[in-house]
Chains A and B, each alone.
Chain A
Amino acid sequence: GAVVSQHPSWVICKSGTSVKIECRSLDFQATTMFWYRQFPKQSLMLMATSNEGSKATYEQGVEKDKFLINHASLTLSTLTVTSAHPEDSSFYICSATVLGGTQPQHFGDGTRLSIL
């Protein structure tokens, strides 16, 4: 089955640090990747949609200058949380799909980000 790998799985760092999270589709080419965030006891919230070779589309209320997304290849998208602060602490999850396909999205393992 389709496998999506996310790295790192856990990050703890000081306030002001920038953190990069990688999302890879291991056995298929993902034209579209999605980045979600989940706070405790809340649902997953879509942050942005990332299409290979083009700029990401951000959801309302998500700062594109703070959450930098790069989707340079069909198997890799990265999310960089710039100058992270404690309020950015959350569970970040990526998913991947082939646009136009009928298959549901496949999720990475998630990255738990804790900013001290």
Chain B
Amino acid sequence: RKEVEQDPGPFNVPEGATVAFNCTYSNSASQSFFWYRQDCRKEPKLLMSVYSSGNEDGRFTAQLNRASQYISLLIRDSKLSDSATYLCVVNTGFQKLVFGTGTRLLVSP
């Protein structure tokens, strides 16, 4: 079983749609959690950290369920510029990050 699992997609949605991505992780001792965005042939860029209390940044909402070892990302009012691969990332300790394979999002006009 992979340490971090994501549905690879692609998720094809029209502009303005709401889309949700899920991620599960296997190491119950994992300490912190992030969503990164990666555009084609580019480096990952931090989108947001994920907390158990849930956190929101504009159109983006992230949620962590430690009991279920489950992380989610919700994007509201999708824009064309949201098209990218979204990486679920888990810090397993000592800043060691484990990346999911990513979920590809395609937003169309």
- Which residues of A pack against B, CB within 8 Å? 6, 32, 34, 41-46, 49, 91, 93, 95, 97, 99, 102, 104-110, 112
A44 touches B44 (CB 8 A): yes
CA distance A108 to B42 in the complex (A): 9
For B99, list chain A residues within 8 Å (CB). Answer: 43-45
Chain B residues with Cβ under 8 A from A45's Cβ? Answer: 99
One digit per residue, 1 when the CB lies within 8 angstroms of any chain A CB and 0 when it does not, for chain B 71-104 equals: 0000000000000000100010011111111100
Distance in angstroms between the alpha carbons of A99 and B91 in the assembled complex = 13
Q: 3 nearest interchain CB pairs?
A: A43-B101, A107-B43, A43-B99
Which B residues have a C-beta under 8 Å from some C-beta of A? 4, 32, 34, 41-46, 49, 87, 91, 94-102
B34, B49, B96: which contacts A46 (Cβ < 8 A)?
B96
Whole-angstrom CA separation of A42 from B4 in the bound complex: 13
Assembled-state Cα–Cα distance A36/B45 (Å): 14
Q: Could you tell me the distance between the alpha carbons of A43 and B100 in the complex, rounded to whole angstroms?
A: 6
Given contacts A41-B101, A49-B96, A112-B41, list 7 more A-B pairs with CB under 8 A: A43-B4, A43-B87, A44-B99, A46-B96, A91-B41, A104-B91, A105-B97
Q: Is the CB of B42 within 8 A of A110?
A: yes
Q: Assess whether A109 is in contact with B49, with CB atoms less than 8 Å apart.
A: no
CB distance from A45 to the nearest CB of B (A): 8
A and B contact pairs by CB, cutoff 8 A, 15 listed: A6-B43, A34-B95, A41-B101, A43-B101, A44-B87, A46-B96, A46-B98, A49-B94, A95-B97, A99-B95, A104-B46, A104-B49, A105-B95, A108-B43, A112-B41
B44 in complex: contacting residue of A32, A42, A46, A107, CB < 8 Å? A107
A44 / chain B contacts, CB cutoff of 8 Å: 44, 87, 99
B7 CB to closest chain A CB, in angstroms?
Answer: 13
Pair A107/B100 contact, Cβ less than 8 Å:
no
A contact residues around B41 at 8 Å (CB): 91, 110, 112
CA distance A44 to B87 in the complex (A): 10
